Amino acid sequence: MSVGGPIITDASIKTRLIEAGKTLFADRGYAGASVRDICKAADASATMIHHYFGNKEGLLDAILNEFSSTTFDVPLRLIAKPPKTAEEYRLRLEMFISETFRALLGQAPVFRIMVRESKSFVSMSRFHEGLAAYLRAGQEAGYLNPALKVELITGLVLDRLGNQVMYAATSSDDEPNVLNDESFADAWLAANVAVLLDGFAGGDEARTS
């Protein structure tokens, strides 16, 4: 360490390794990112991944665990409280979809890693469980069509939002997309929220049929 320079703590080294892992795993894939390259990008000794994570797979698991434990905190809080009216139920569902989309945009590189490495089921379990519980509660309260298959709806929501994030992450910067154009992202989200909600939110006819 140079005189007068910052003191490098264990926490800062671990954080740099995680951030370097996110970048290289997203750009090159898990197999294409070597331990040596990750440590070089993190300005850390080649032994540090083994020290903090055991091996490269341990680093990947740490990145995905961080994603699954924090990314959906805000969206899931929106649907944790039982609504009192059909209007409140729909509003919470709309906000949940919007916040989930924003969360995925903010973690686009990690989401890309998750999908590429086929880790989506484990990493998205909190999302699926929380949304499924809210949809079932809506059916029991008469806010949603009881004939809808909850498991299919949770997958539909995530697929629609996730596919757009994945497309944007691999498209040209010259082409407007949800990652490089905020107005485009707002318009895309508004249109898709309407489609998703009007496609499975039960109206009066659905509830009385």
Q: What is the pLDDT of residues 16-37, one digit of tens each?
A: 999 999 999 999 999 999 999 9
Work out the pLDDT band at 1, boundaries 50, 70, 90.
Answer: very low
The residue out of 64, 79, 107 marking a domain boundary is: 64
User: Based on the domain organization, do 88 and 160 belong to the same domain?
Assistant: yes
Q: Which domain holds residue 50?
A: 10-64
Query: Are residue 42 and residue 77 in the same domain, yes or no?
Result: no
Confidence of residue 4 (pLDDT cuts 50, 70, 90): very low
Instruction: Indicate which CATH number applies to the domain containing 24.
Output: 1.10.10.60
Tell whether the model's pLDDT for residue 111 goes beyond 90: no
- What pLDDT was estimated at residue 37? 95
Per the structure, the count of domains in the chain is 2
Beta bridge partners of 144: 201
Q: What is the DSSP string of 46-106?
A: TTHHHHHHSSHHHHHHHHHHHHHHHTTHHHHHHTTSPPSSHHHHHHHHHHHHHHHHHHHHH
What value does the mean pLDDT take over residues 180-192?
Answer: 87
The answer to whether residue 5 sits within a structural domain is no
* 81/173 same-domain check: yes
Binning pLDDT at 50, 70 and 90, where does residue 131 land?
very high
90 is a domain residue: yes
Does 18 share its domain with 107? no
| Same domain as 108, residue 50 | no
* Domain match, 111 and 156 both: yes
